[in-house]
Structure 1
Amino acid sequence: MVIEEIDTTSPRGALALRLADAVQRRWPSEVQAVGVRGSLAHGDDTDTSDVNLVVLTHRPRSGPRPTLRKVEGIPVELEVLAADEALVKARQLTPRWPLLADRYMTTFALHDPKDCFAELREAHQNLLGEARPAEFTQLARHDWATANGARRRAIRLTQWCDTEAALVMIADARVHAALVAGLLTRTWFRNAADAVKRTGVAAADMRELGAILKYQADELAARGRPVDGTVGALFD
């Protein structure tokens, strides 16, 4: 659910408004819409939150440049997309859908005279309404393979006593296992941390993660997308 108005008493809310004004003043003929995503759009930002600003432009490669940095002590992520490009992406399903849907469904407009963000939300809602279950299952199998590969590499790295690298791989495996769960249940998440927490894999060790992946493999097979198969099945 998108908030009805931004909290201007919050340092992050006040900064978002100032940034939106600065963008409009500097690129008045190129900027079509400016909005915020993430915790500000959900209305639950805290002192540790970022400002996730998104700018839609009339043409590709115009307006401000995307960047990630601090402004007055507050982390700011500036995403810049041509409005047409953003609309194309809103109509696509990818293996990262559980981490991407929120940006279409929950964006608070700071400047949007043509209701671009509402159009993106409607386009994504239509996509979800029209998508067949098999499309989500196919994407889930892709994430399962990534999770399984990361877990296998983590095991191998542990055997080589490369604990630091193994921890990176196991974290990657957890995220992709969470994406599998999200795709199979058509659930999206705020971010990767939210995904692993809500799916119960945040603290899973390699043995527990193996059991989770085994369960997911069985579920995928039951839905007609087995994780293993013949040479010919690779191209199906």
Structure 2
Amino acid sequence: MRTKLSRVPKLFAKKRDPSEQRLVDFLEKKFNYRPIDLDLFIDALTHKSFSNTREECESNERLEYLGDTVIDLIVAHYLYDRFPNEDEGYLTKVKAKIVNRKMLAYIGGELELESYMRYRKGRSIKVATLEGNAMEALIGAMYLDSDYDTTRAVFEKYVIKKFINFKEVLSQEMDFKSLLLIWGQKNKFNISFEIIDEATKENDFIYTARVIINNKEWGMGKGTAKKEAEQNASNETMTLLGLH
């Protein structure tokens, strides 16, 4: 782990190689941000498939973890200010549409993060996932390299206002099952659905679904279609988890 001393600019720092200068140019062009400790941003763009084959090379996993939390707070802060008359439930649903793997992967793709990343190309690596994780790691690196206010200003101006179409986001319907799966993905929980009672004449053709989280049974729901039963089971599970 890097110490604070390693983040102090050196008066006689060595000349950057072309790849380092290219990264600096990228940060300045896309975020109007000039890094103090470039190593943080190099780490942010280093996948474990690369770092595992090198000594004294850090992957972006820890920065990804930090960036995930920072982005969550920035977006929550932004929505709190933008929608002063909306309640907690509304803000949570809108945030879930913005802070998710699909959106972060889209933003990372638009920024062409793959071309700045260090990773071993292979069939087992999904580029979209790689770029989404790197996006989180970059924000984590920026937070450590500066502070919350600076990172928030950059993210709002160069990410939210540039890549988030609120008219489109607000028009999207967010169902209980999607919200639950997004929550599970964010917290690395394995969520599955089980139909425990098929629709038959004996039960008035009603399906019963159950939510399973990390092999533990949670909410149940009924419906005339499997999707409806899963929606109702998700709704009950979110209530039990205190997510409403």
User: Do the two structures share a fold, i.e. TM-score over 0.5?
Assistant: no
Q: Considering fraction of residues, name the structure with more strand.
A: 1
What TM-score do you get using the length of structure 1 for normalisation? Answer: 0.28
What TM-score do you get using the length of structure 2 for normalisation? Answer: 0.28
Q: Considering fraction of residues, name the structure with more helix.
A: 2
Q: Which has the larger radius of gyration?
A: 2
